[in-house]
Structure 1
Amino acid sequence: MLPDMTDRTTALVTGANKGIGYEVAAALAAKGLTVLLGSRDRTRGERAAARLRAAGGDVRPVVLDVTDPATVEAAAATLTRLDVLVNNAGISGPLHGLPSATAAPTVREVFETNVIGVLLVTNTLLPLLRRSPAARIVNVSSGAGSLAHHTDPDHYMSGLPASATYPVSKTALNQLTVQYAKELRKDGILVNAAAPGACATDFTKDLPFPITRTAAEGAAIIVKLATLPPDGPTGCFFDDAGSVPW
């Protein structure tokens, strides 16, 4: 866990009005953190935060669209403290689409949320995180971003149809995670990527096979990385089973 602090530890979770992000917010609030629940839609964010407050958590809605610098800057302007940043917001893009048949604007749209959005939010909030005695950044990635998985003939991902959108964006996010970890190590900020696995959420509802893993189960590794002790790892990629190969 994070060390005790004079004031209440504060976490911001993007894309947290539903799914895995919501469960991350719930779990962090249950651990006693003040949680800022980021959501593009004000009403949905307020409703989600109200449900978690009713369960006893200190959860506050924040309007935040990771592709809109104005909302990110506005959210940052309301904060005086931030210890944990969970970059959870993400989109899948087309589930099926060979690279040779995918238009550049489609790829650009996915990268705008899954990679550029992470850069925008992180850089905007870094001044606050640098003031924290033990800041943590968790980028929510995916096993689909593992080059090792896609090139291992014994791994099921090597048999999936080729795609130029979601898996490529998560591979880029993994590299961005490593680069932030390198830069911020000297500041004591631990930066890691998490692979929550395929969970039964709106994100996976159109997959051609059933998903039984819950969003709460997927959130567990994210929460673990968000509350690492001072000697915890940085610049790494984890799922429930441990280290994920890049």
Structure 2
Amino acid sequence: MTTTFVTGAGRSLGLETARRLVEAGHTVLLGARDPERGRAAAGAVGARFVRIDVADDASVEAAAADVAAHEGALDVLVNNAGIHGRVGPVEEYTAADVRAVLDVNVVGIVRVTHAFLPLLRRSAHPVIVNVSSGMGSFGLTHDPERIESQYSLPLYAASKAAVTMLTTQYARELADVKVNAADPGQTATDFTGGLGHSVEVGAESIVALATIGPDGPTGRLVDRSGTLPW
């Protein structure tokens, strides 16, 4: 049985990913900050709720200890938790605005990966999936044929560029772990104001990477159609 932990899974893409992986036969640990929402979401899809706030060291360490005590090991870690951050005139952005986004979207991945890596290394075929975005791709944000070129989201885009680079560097360093980044594309969530394709479609690239075998790729940024450019 494959044991998978999904952060930010109380709703939207994280919840849909958890649901799909339960259907695929995984034992899913549904991570969320809000206990009430997290328990309800876990009950709805047949997962086990584990409270985690990726921006809080103690919370992340407690979540890893919880998994160690109950499951003893982890096969797949999906770093899905993320925030949009401030949107508006760039001249109004402050250092605190940037720090808040990076602390969740980038540093949060480092916190969670650091805490859960000992559990992943108890797996025969450990996998990490970082949820990134085409908004972090220079190529896509400069391609007039792509939706990514139509938006200006400096804080979010910069954080996702960092997530993708972090992914490639971790993949290089962690030779015993498959580490990839998934781009869900423009998905109809609170992030996008309901614009875009369904969460079912958005979750496809995440689920695909979470279910790769031992001969699967590493160090890639992919969407549901394939590998994406920088």
Q: Does the alignment reach a TM-score above 0.5? A: yes
* Unmatched tracts of structure 2, length 5 or more: none
Letter in 1 for 2:224: D
Match in the other structure for 1:178: 168
Q: Helix, strand or coil: the match of 2:188?
A: coil
CA deviation after TM superposition for structure 1 residue 169, in Å: 0.3
Match in the other structure for 2:154: 164
Q: Helix, strand or coil: the match of 2:219?
A: coil
Q: Helix, strand or coil: the match of 1:131?
A: coil
Closer, same or farther in 2 for the Cα pair 1:82/1:97, shift >3 Å?
farther
CA deviation after TM superposition for structure 1 residue 96, in Å: 2.6
1:90 alignment partner, one of 74, 82, 88: 82
CA deviation after TM superposition for structure 1 residue 216, in Å: 1.3
Match in the other structure for 1:75: 63
CA deviation after TM superposition for structure 1 residue 156, in Å: 4.4
Match in the other structure for 2:40: 47
CA deviation after TM superposition for structure 1 residue 154, in Å: 5.0
Q: After superposition, where does 1:16-35 map in structure 2 within 5 Å?
A: 16-35=9-28
2:178 alignment partner, one of 182, 187, 190: 190
CA deviation after TM superposition for structure 1 residue 122, in Å: 0.4
CA deviation after TM superposition for structure 1 residue 74, in Å: 0.7
TM-score, L = length of structure 2: 0.94
Closer, same or farther in 2 for the Cα pair 1:95/1:230, shift >3 Å?
same
| Cα root mean square deviation, aligned | 1.4
Q: Does 1:120 align with 2:111?
A: yes
Distance 1:135 1:215 in 2: 25
Letter in 2 for 1:237: L
Describe the superposition over 1:25-68 as per-residue Cα deviations: whole angstroms up to 9, x where unpaired: 00110011110000001111000011112xxxxx1000000001
CA deviation after TM superposition for structure 1 residue 102, in Å: 1.3
Letter in 2 for 1:35: V
Letter in 1 for 2:166: L
Match in the other structure for 1:63: 51
* Unmatched tracts of structure 1, length 5 or more: 1-7, 54-58
Distance 1:222 1:87 in 2: 10
Identity of aligned residues (%): 50
> Which has the greater radius of gyration?
1
CA deviation after TM superposition for structure 1 residue 155, in Å: 4.0
Closer, same or farther in 2 for the Cα pair 1:130/1:96, shift >3 Å?
same
CA deviation after TM superposition for structure 1 residue 164, in Å: 2.8
Q: Does 1:36 align with 2:26?
A: no
Letter in 2 for 1:166: Y
CA contact (8 A) 2:79 2:109 kept: yes
Distance 2:151 2:129 in 1: 27
